[in-house]
A and B are shown apart, each in its own frame.
Chain A
Amino acid sequence: MNPLFFGPSSHPLYGVFHPATGSIQKKEGVLLCPPFGQEYMRSHRAFRQLALLLSKKGYAVMRFDYRGTGDSSGDIEEINIDEWLDNIKTAAEELKETAFVEKIHVIGLRLGAILASSASFNIEIDKLVLWDSLRSGLAYDEELQVEMKKEGDDAAFNHIDTNGTLHFNGFPLVKSVRDDLQKLDLLNSPPQAEKILQVVSKETSCSRAIDQAWSSKPNYTYAHAPAPGNWNYVDDFGGILLPQPVIQSIVNWIDNS
């Protein structure tokens, strides 16, 4: 596990590179695209576990933070979606150069799945995993607003301010980013990859809509791996922090498909 800063020196990105450690080196890399906000915080351990398991299977793996998030440079108020899509490309190139691999697989969780899908038009992706994906950026925005209403007075700082910035559980999404997100839609612009897996911890109307739209595609696979899947809720066990069935399902598909 090697932490590093990469990308342009004026706007460095933080990543963690997991070299392949298995007895058979696959000469393939896996890039992990995280979700946003508290979902990012909650997925950190699961991503680490996923990276470790894949590296043991012989894959070189890169986790990273988009600009304005995590350890990467910048403030969230300064970013735009195009920059995040560029970040995915930069991270994929860094992974290729660091691990000397040509073939890249990408795994995106929640908002990360939508971003990875959009980035697939600029990166050559072999296998693409959409984990608990939403169908569009608009659906994501709407879901956050529903959650805000549900939490009510328990989350006093959740609101949309006069500038149109959506503040949800301590993380702001500025108006321009929310507007950009509305342009991202998996059903209108299906991702490009040799193989695509939609894996869900819980079936929803969104996962079914994607499945219905893509089920006839020969390169598409659907998997339901029951596990805690509400990324806006942590139970007493911390179940969402390490949803093993989904992680195992992804590792198996990447390694065996």
Chain B
Amino acid sequence: MREITLKIGRPTPLTAIATEPKGFDPSKPAVLILNSGVMHHIGTCRISVRIARELAKSGFLALRFDFSGIGDSEPRRGTASFAESSSAEITEVMNYLEQKKGIKKFIVYGLCSGADASYEIAKKDPRIVGMVQIDAYCYPNWQSKLIHYAPRILKLDVWLRFIKRILGTPQPARDEEQIDAENIEMPSYIREFPAREEIAKGLQGIIDSNIHIYNIFTGGMLQTFNHSKQYAENFSDVDFKDRLKVDFYKELDHIITSPEYQQKIPFDICLWVKMVSDKSSHI
């Protein structure tokens, strides 16, 4: 395995790290590892580095890159939305790898906003054969509300907090961190979940394009997603065929601080990528 830096695109290139396996095979899909929010390309708790190196050990090229304006990529001019610019930049990276390395199939991976970007490109680009998402779009339903609220009904402190909120009782501020807004100059990504019907339609299109989906949900948004069957319930109108795998780890946080899961998730993704690679080898 070796790692090299790449600068992709002009005039303002995107910074990327390619993790290349020994005995690189361009017929296998390459895995593109996307940013999560404004976090740079090593990923939360270095998970993107672990995933890339695990994949390379199994013979897959993995490429971690920063979208423009994030991490080590300089900002580009323009007024495109994140959905538009991220898709355009992923396409640019795929074009580069296709031209330089002869790779024609890709799997996209992302956590949080990276999951959203994966979904957007999977809808559009026929070179995508798989998509791994951590904490993808999902929607509370009556089952998740029951699971979330039922244990709270008998808790006194929950009711006290609720009453305080209704009465508008001011909450103490963390004075040490009160800051001037003028000191802040950050790119931001406000995550909004589109209407469920829109996502259902998009997912059906993705599945019908023979793209496999691996969704991992953490316990980082339990008010929204809190049981393993919820994804299937959310999208019961989508025929996923045999192309969907869902794992739910209630005890895990959104930024994957658990040492155990920092090992497990790259390993599981790697196994799944091998499966997708085998299934897509005839394409």
Name A's B-contacting residues (CB within 8 A).
Answer: 1-5, 12, 14, 16, 41, 44-45, 48, 69-71, 73, 76, 155-158, 167, 169-172, 202, 227-228, 230, 233, 235, 237-239, 241-245
User: Residue of A at shortest CB range from B17?
Assistant: A71
Q: Tell me how far the C-beta of B7 lies from the nearest C-beta in chain A, rounded to whole angstroms.
A: 7
Query: What A residues does B268 contact at CB under 8 A?
Result: none
Q: Tell me how far the C-beta of B146 lies from the nearest C-beta in chain A, rounded to whole angstroms.
A: 24
For chain B, the bracket of interface size reads 35 or more
Given contacts A5-B4, A170-B45, contact A239 B179 (CB under 8 A): yes
B184 contacts A238, CB within 8 Å?
yes
B177 contacts A233, CB within 8 Å?
yes
Return 15 A-B CB contacts under 8 Å, by A number. Answer: A1-B72, A41-B40, A48-B72, A157-B257, A167-B257, A167-B259, A170-B256, A170-B258, A227-B179, A228-B177, A238-B184, A239-B183, A241-B186, A242-B185, A243-B183
B84 contacts partner chain A, Cβ-Cβ < 8 Å: no
Overall SS of chain B's interface = loop
B183 contacts A244, CB within 8 Å?
yes
Q: Which 4 pairs between the two chains have the least Cβ-Cβ distance?
A: A170-B45, A170-B257, A3-B5, A239-B179
CA distance A228 to B176 in the complex (A): 8
**Among the listed A44, A157, A233, A243, which residue makes an inter-chain contact with B40, where contact means beta carbons less than 8 Å apart?**
A44
Q: Tell me how far the C-beta of A175 lies from the nearest C-beta in chain B, rounded to whole angstroms.
A: 15
A71 contacts B49, CB within 8 Å?
yes
CA distance A237 to B185 in the complex (A): 9
CA distance A41 to B44 in the complex (A): 8
CA distance A29 to B74 in the complex (A): 21
B251 contacts partner chain A, Cβ-Cβ < 8 Å: yes
User: Residue of A at shortest CB range from B37?
Assistant: A238
Q: Tell me how far the C-beta of A103 lies from the nearest C-beta in chain B, rounded to whole angstroms.
A: 26
User: Residue of A at shortest CB range from B177?
Assistant: A235
Q: Tell me how far the C-beta of B113 lies from the nearest C-beta in chain A, rounded to whole angstroms.
A: 14
Query: What B residues does A239 contact at CB under 8 A?
Result: 177, 179, 183-184
B241 contacts partner chain A, Cβ-Cβ < 8 Å: no
B15 contacts A169, CB within 8 Å?
no
B71 contacts partner chain A, Cβ-Cβ < 8 Å: yes
**Among the listed B5, B42, B74, which residue makes an inter-chain contact with A70, where contact means beta carbons less than 8 Å apart?**
B42
B4 contacts A41, CB within 8 Å?
no
**Among the listed B7, B39, B188, B257, which residue makes an inter-chain contact with A169, where contact means beta carbons less than 8 Å apart?**
B257
B39 contacts A172, CB within 8 Å?
no
Q: A3, A41, A242: which has the most chain B beta carbons within 10 Å? A: A3
Q: Tell me how far the C-beta of B178 lies from the nearest C-beta in chain A, rounded to whole angstroms.
A: 8
**Among the listed B38, B183, B259, which residue makes an inter-chain contact with A45, where contact means beta carbons less than 8 Å apart?**
B38
CA distance A12 to B176 in the complex (A): 40
Query: What A residues does B251 contact at CB under 8 A?
Result: 156
User: Residue of B at shortest CB range from A68?
Assistant: B46
Given contacts A1-B72, A227-B183, A245-B183, contact A171 B45 (CB under 8 A): yes
A244 contacts B176, CB within 8 Å?
no
B98 contacts partner chain A, Cβ-Cβ < 8 Å: no
B42 contacts A71, CB within 8 Å?
yes
Query: What B residues does A238 contact at CB under 8 A?
Result: 38, 184, 186, 188
B186 contacts A242, CB within 8 Å?
yes
User: Residue of A at shortest CB range from B258?
Assistant: A157
Query: What A residues does B45 contact at CB under 8 A?
Result: 169-171
Query: What A residues does B257 contact at CB under 8 A?
Result: 155, 157-158, 167, 169-170
CA distance A227 to B176 in the complex (A): 10
B184 contacts A69, CB within 8 Å?
no
Given contacts A71-B42, A170-B44, A170-B262, contact A3 B179 (CB under 8 A): no
A230 contacts B3, CB within 8 Å?
no
Given contacts A157-B257, A172-B259, A241-B38, contact A3 B186 (CB under 8 A): no
CA distance A228 to B7 in the complex (A): 33
**Among the listed B7, B49, B176, which residue makes an inter-chain contact with A230, where contact means beta carbons less than 8 Å apart?**
B176
CA distance A227 to B170 in the complex (A): 25
B77 contacts partner chain A, Cβ-Cβ < 8 Å: no
Q: Tell me how far the C-beta of B76 lies from the nearest C-beta in chain A, rounded to whole angstroms.
A: 13
Q: B46, B71, B186: which has the most chain A beta carbons within 10 Å? A: B46
Q: Within B152-174, which residues are at the interface with A (CB < 8 Å)?
A: 174
Query: What B residues does A227 contact at CB under 8 A?
Result: 179, 183
Query: What A residues does B177 contact at CB under 8 A?
Result: 228, 230, 233, 235, 239
Besides A1-B72, A4-B5, 13 more A-B contacts (Cβ < 8 Å) are: A3-B5, A48-B72, A70-B46, A71-B17, A155-B257, A157-B259, A170-B45, A170-B256, A170-B258, A172-B259, A228-B177, A235-B174, A238-B188
Q: Tell me how far the C-beta of B142 lies from the nearest C-beta in chain A, rounded to whole angstroms.
A: 28
B38 contacts A3, CB within 8 Å?
no
